[in-house]
Amino acid sequence: MVEGRSRRSNFAPGTGVGGRHSRGFVTVKLPRHVLPKVLASGKTAFYYTVPTKYRKMGCPVPNEPLGTDYAKACGEGGRAETLNGLFDEWNDARKGLPICGDEAPRIGSIDCCSESTGRVGPTSKRSILDRAATMNGTCERFATR
């Protein structure tokens, strides 16, 4: 063999196979419950799919296609973020945890105490009316201060 002859493993510096730059893979972390699928056109589409376990428990969050645009589907403020928020809210309610939001009463406030009475067993109508009147009076006193 002739000295210096190029073989498969003897490339010129700075080039890849056949003189082309090789393409690498980019790994992107997808939000929960988002599945990528390659379409017949070659594009990657994203689908939001609630696990069957939660679907059987009655989860109202729908399975839906999110589209082929990653930014709209999975980016900051994307549809997947909204659906995961709805799922988390449903899951917290299912577990009996308080739901936090703008319209929910602040934990520890009088409104919060009036909504979560924590009654065990049957309560008479008179007790319910007394409790309601007491809470209304208490709320009005604090509101006027």
Confidence of residue 73 (pLDDT cuts 50, 70, 90): very high
Q: Which long-range contacts (CB under 8 A, 24 or more apart) does 33-41 make?
A: 33/80, 33/83, 33/84, 33/87, 34/66, 34/73, 34/74, 34/80, 39/68
Confidence of residue 28 (pLDDT cuts 50, 70, 90): confident
pTM: 0.53
Q: Provide the β-strand partners of residue 67.
A: 46
In this predicted model, what pLDDT tens digit does every residue of 108-127 receive, in sequence order?
555 555 555 555 555 677 77
Decide if 89 contacts 126 (C-beta within 8 A): no
In this predicted model, what pLDDT tens digit does every residue of 41-69 receive, in sequence order?
999 999 999 999 999 999 999 999 999 99
Which sequence spans correspond to the domains of the chain?
Answer: 28-97, 105-117+126-145
